[in-house]
Structures are given as C-alpha cells and as structure tokens.
Amino acid sequence: MKSYILFFDGHCNLCNYLVNFIIKRDKQQQIKFCPIQQVHLHSLSNSLVSNISGDSVVLYDQNEKKIFQKSEAVFEIADILGGVWKSISIGRILPRKINDLFYDCIAKNRFKIFGQKQECRIPSSEERGRFL
C-alpha cells in the first residue's frame, strides 16, 4: 500500500478543513499529516524540507520519494481518495501554470477568506496515529 505525508499550514483554517476532509474520506489511511510548523521535527532529507513552504500544501509520496506541490498535490490527493473525488483530477488537462496560478490566488488570500488559528491543530485521540 502506498504511503504519503501531507505537510500543511497548521494555522490555516482552509488547510485544517482539508485535513479533516481527508481524514473522513481516506478509508485506507494512506495519508499521514504534519503541520509545516513542525516539519523541522521530522527526519526528512534537507532537500525535501527545503521544498516545503507555508503557502502551499505539500504531499510527499514515501514509496516513490516524490513531492507534489500546489495544484498537483490537490490532484494527487483526489486520486488517492478515489470515487467521485478522483474527477477533480480532470483539472490536469489545463497547463500546470494555470492551475498553480489559481492555487496561488487562493493561497495568497486564504487567511482573509477563511481566517487563521493562533495555534496548530491538535488531533483527537482517534486521529493521533495519523499525525507525525
């Protein structure tokens, strides 16, 4: 079974919504989660850590050692969740620059639109095993 880590902004309400969304739908629990604010605590290579920034979700495929960022991370998550969610990946027919432009627009305004938390999300006892 494939295994992924989703790095997300623990202060961002939109990012936390995405984490909750995935937890409810990732029945095989392929995706684990790590707030970007705690990435330095993870034992990943320096090259991976340098690719992680606060303005983008980053999905790391642990099997293939591959990084997905911005719109590609969203499309890959949709593929992992499968079912109706996989249809979101049709967005890949557009050039990545266009998809990332849309992604960047949302990312730039995410705090204005969705707000932010003062502290990182604390997982429930049931969720704790999914967080690094």
For every one of its 132 residues, what pLDDT tens digit does the chain have, with 9 covering 90 and above? 899 999 888 888 888 899 999 999 999 999 999 888 766 555 565 556 565 656 678 899 999 989 899 999 999 999 999 999 999 989 999 999 999 999 999 989 988 888 887 766 677 888 888 988
* C-alpha–C-alpha distance, residues 125 and 132, integer Å: 13
Which residues, 6 or more positions from 46, have their beta carbon under 8 angstroms from its beta carbon? none
* C-alpha–C-alpha distance, residues 58 and 112, integer Å: 21
- DSSP H helices, 1-132, are 13-25, 46-49, 70-81, 96-114
| Tokens encoding 11 | 């202060």
The DSSP H or E segment spanning 28 is: none
Torsion angles phi and psi, residue 72, rounded to 5: -65, -35
Q: How many CA atoms lie within 13 A of 124 on its CB side?
A: 5
The residue ranges of every structural domain in the chain are 4-130
Model pTM score:
0.85
